[in-house]
């Protein structure tokens, strides 16, 4: 039997280049080798969007379009909608007994997200404890491998701890997952910030039009110490060059630009124009496939329903083992 992959995304909107580099690229690469499930995590998206549940339906569709657009093959990969697998909720509740409050409070990603979100009425328990439900996501599928961006490493670590505790306490039912990082650990935002994030407005989306991409690239942050195009510039830590390294297949062009930039013989505009050209040819086929599927909503819905059906079957089978291990298979006959 093939080893399994489980990973997922919150459907809070369309996916961007950060998602691509962090995880989508690995999923596309490994989909033929691994039995792959991708979770459209609408329940997790609710943890910080519970005031706008009406957006979830369309966002789920948008995320599925992005999956298809980047080349996930629906004959191979199962797209699973989280809320349609109620077994996940059950496993989350059992896992809650295996995690301490102190451990949750130490999770660096959750801490950072809480800071960004500025919850006016205090941190909802649902948000604060989402690493537990994410551990259920991963383990109900008995995933061996979880392709994710760097920010998700604490979630995988939490899942591994829960698995060890569960298996020691009850029976060896669950699989300890491994994280797999993207080729680039973290893609900075177009503003040079640590990462692309919808709430920061520093993203390039996979479905963006040529014009939108051009505008974003031309307004990107570069080297803040450089005032004139004749000043020697910094390449390291300059997001425009980070993107060149990732998305421009013409390595000779990138090297030449870097050299001229360091010497102060090339302006930001030319560097950005070349980046736009590279990005646009990377995104063009993705954009095209996205539009093709967007024109066939019924087909996309079928793909989601079929993936979820298969995913749920796996979840149900794991839950039978979990309940047996926990001795909650009472038969009152
Ligand atoms: N937390 C992930 C994100 O914000 C989404 C996610 C939910 C996930 N469940 C998962 C990722 C399980 C990996 C495995 O992008």
How far is the centre of ligand 1, averaged over its atoms, from the C-alpha of 50 (Å)?
A: 17
Q: Is the distance from the beta carbon of residue 44 to the nearest atom of ligand 1 less than 6 Å?
A: yes
Cα 69 to Cα 63, 198, 289: the distances in Å are 10, 19, 5
Intervals of CATH 1.10.240.10 along the chain: 207-290
Q: Kindly state the average pLDDT of the residues 150-160.
A: 97
How far is the centre of ligand 1, averaged over its atoms, from the C-alpha of 11 (Å)?
A: 10
pLDDT for 116 equals 87
- 326 burial class (0-12, 13-18, 19+ CB within 10 angstroms)? middle
Intervals of CATH 3.40.50.620 along the chain: 4-187+297-326
Question: What is the CATH architecture of 207-290?
Answer: Orthogonal Bundle (1.10)
Q: Is the distance from the beta carbon of residue 21 to the nearest atom of ligand 1 less than 6 Å?
A: no
- Ligand 1 pocket check: which of 113, 141, 155, 198 to mutate, most ligand atoms within 8 Å of Cβ? 155
Q: Is the distance from the beta carbon of residue 49 to the nearest atom of ligand 1 less than 6 Å?
A: no
How far is the centre of ligand 1, averaged over its atoms, from the C-alpha of 223 (Å)?
A: 33
pLDDT grade, residue 288 (50/70/90)?
very high
pLDDT for 68 equals 98
3-state secondary structure of 216: helix
Across the chain, mean pLDDT equals: 96
Q: Is the distance from the beta carbon of residue 82 to the nearest atom of ligand 1 less than 6 Å?
A: no
DSSP one-letter code for 180 = E
Summarised one tens digit per residue, pLDDT across range 240-260 is 999 999 999 999 999 999 999
How far is the centre of ligand 1, averaged over its atoms, from the C-alpha of 120 (Å)?
A: 24
Q: Is the distance from the beta carbon of residue 88 to the nearest atom of ligand 1 less than 6 Å?
A: no
Q: Is the distance from the beta carbon of residue 26 to the nearest atom of ligand 1 less than 6 Å?
A: no
Q: Whole-angstrom Cα distance, residue 231 to residue 120?
A: 45
Q: What is the pTM of this model?
A: 0.95
Q: How many CB atoms lie within 10 A of CB 246?
A: 18
CB 148 within 8 A of CB 7: yes
Q: Is the distance from the beta carbon of residue 92 to the nearest atom of ligand 1 less than 6 Å?
A: no
The rounded radius of gyration (Å) of the Cα atoms in the chain is 22
pLDDT for 185 equals 73
Whether residue 1 is predicted with pLDDT greater than 80 in this model: the reply is: no
Summarised one tens digit per residue, pLDDT across range 257-281 is 999 999 999 999 999 999 999 999 9
How far is the centre of ligand 1, averaged over its atoms, from the C-alpha of 242 (Å)?
A: 25
Q: Does domain 4-187+297-326 have CATH number 3.40.50.170?
A: no
Taking CA atoms only, the protein residue closest to ligand 1 atom 8 is 8
Q: Read off the tokens for 39.
A: 């979770």
Q: Kindly state the average pLDDT of the residues 287-302.
A: 98
How far is the centre of ligand 1, averaged over its atoms, from the C-alpha of 253 (Å)?
A: 36
Pairing assessment for the beta strands 4-9 and 35-40 based on DSSP bridges: parallel
- Percent of the chain beyond pLDDT 90? 93
Q: Is the distance from the beta carbon of residue 9 to the nearest atom of ligand 1 less than 6 Å?
A: yes
pLDDT grade, residue 183 (50/70/90)?
confident
Q: Is the distance from the beta carbon of residue 148 to the nearest atom of ligand 1 less than 6 Å?
A: yes
Q: Kindly state the average pLDDT of the residues 127-142.
A: 98
**Residue 332 phi/psi, 5° resolution?**
-90, 80
pLDDT for 20 equals 96
Q: Is the distance from the beta carbon of residue 151 to the nearest atom of ligand 1 less than 6 Å?
A: no
């Amino acid at each position: 039997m093939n080893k399994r992959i489980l990973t997922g995304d919150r459907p809070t909107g369309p996916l961007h280049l950060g998602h691509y580099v962090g995880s989508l690229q690995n999923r596309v690469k490994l989909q033929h080798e691994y039995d792959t499930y991708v979770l459209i995590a609408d329940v997790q998206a609710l943890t910080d969007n519970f005031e706008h549940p009406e957006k979830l339906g369309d966002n789920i569709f948008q995320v599925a379009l992005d999956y298809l657009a980047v080349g996930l093959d629906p004959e191979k990969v199962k797209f699973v909608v989280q809320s349609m697998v109620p077994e996940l909720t059950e496993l989350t509740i059992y896992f809650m007994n295996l995690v301490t409050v102190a451990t949750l409070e130490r999770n660096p990603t959750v801490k950072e997200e809480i800071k960004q979100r500025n919850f006016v009425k205090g941190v909802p328990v649902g948000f604060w404890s989402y690493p537990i439900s994410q551990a259920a996501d991963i383990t109900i599928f008995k995933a061996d491998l979880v392709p994710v961006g760097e920010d998700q490493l604490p979630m995988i670590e939490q899942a591994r701890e829960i698995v060890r505790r569960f298996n020691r306490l009850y029976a060896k039912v669950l699989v300890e997952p491994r994280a797999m990082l993207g080729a680039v650990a973290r893609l900075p935002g177009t503003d040079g910030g640590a990462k692309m994030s919808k709430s920061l407005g520093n993203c390039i989306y996979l479905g963006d039009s040529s014009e939108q991409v051009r505008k974003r690239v031309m307004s990107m942050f570069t080297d803040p110490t450089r005032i004139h195009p004749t000043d020697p510039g910094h390449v390291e830590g300059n997001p425009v060059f980070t993107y060149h390294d990732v998305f421009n297949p013409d390595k000779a062009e990138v090297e030449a630009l870097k050299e001229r930039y360091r010497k102060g013989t090339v302006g930001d505009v030319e560097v950005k124009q070349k980046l736009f050209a590279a990005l646009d040819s990377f995104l063009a086929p993705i954009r095209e496939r996205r539009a093709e599927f967007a024109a066939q909503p019924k087909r996309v819905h079928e793909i989601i329903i079929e993936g979820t059906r298969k995913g749920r079957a796996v979840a149900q089978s794991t839950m039978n083992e979990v309940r047996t291990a926990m001795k909650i298979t009472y038969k009152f006959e």
